[in-house]
Amino acid sequence: MRLAGGSRHWSLESNAGGGVGGAFTLFVMMVLTEEVRRALTAGRLAHLTTINPDGSPQVSVVWIGLEGDDIVIGHLMRGRKVTNIERDPRVALTVEAEGANSAGMANYVIVYGQARLVEGGAPQLLQRLAEVYVGPGVRFPPFENPPAGHVIHITPERVGGVGPWGL
């Protein structure tokens, strides 16, 4: 069996009292490979997809960074992606990557995962990401006293796409 996206840590936890013959749930934590980490931190815009209340997709173009194995996104205001994540944490994120396969298709990464919101910290994260996306020495957000906003943390569950991480 080939596991896309890198190594995984496995653990079993009983959800039926731990008795013999009880049901077990398997929890998987994705560890991002160096190739995927490079693609996610190369300063290319990402596309974050959340789920609207009616089940339709909602897509936002976002700046991304990494904190450990979490993908992080800063959001100053209370927008649709924030309310969607509060209701349903399932997300998908895509980003183009360097290179192409032998057929000439550009490399890209798709990350499927669970998002969680952390209140505050968005201006500081956006300032850090602006150094990558806009350039050194830039001030972002470009106004006084920005709201604390939210930092979206995405915990990857599965990685795919075209490139050394793809299936």
Residue ranges of the domains in the chain?
A: 33-162
Q: Is the pLDDT of residue 25 over 60?
A: no
Q: CB neighbours (10 Å) of residue 75?
A: 21
Q: 30: pLDDT confidence band, cut at 50, 70 and 90?
A: low
Element (H, E) at 81: helix 80-87
CATH code 3.30.565.10 for 33-162: no
Asked if 166 and 4 count as a contact pair (C-beta separation under 8 A), the reply is yes
The predicted-structure confidence for 90-136, as pLDDT tens digits, reads as follows 999 999 999 999 999 999 999 999 999 999 999 999 999 999 999 99
Q: What is the mean pLDDT of residues 10-14?
A: 38
Q: Is the pLDDT of residue 161 over 50?
A: yes
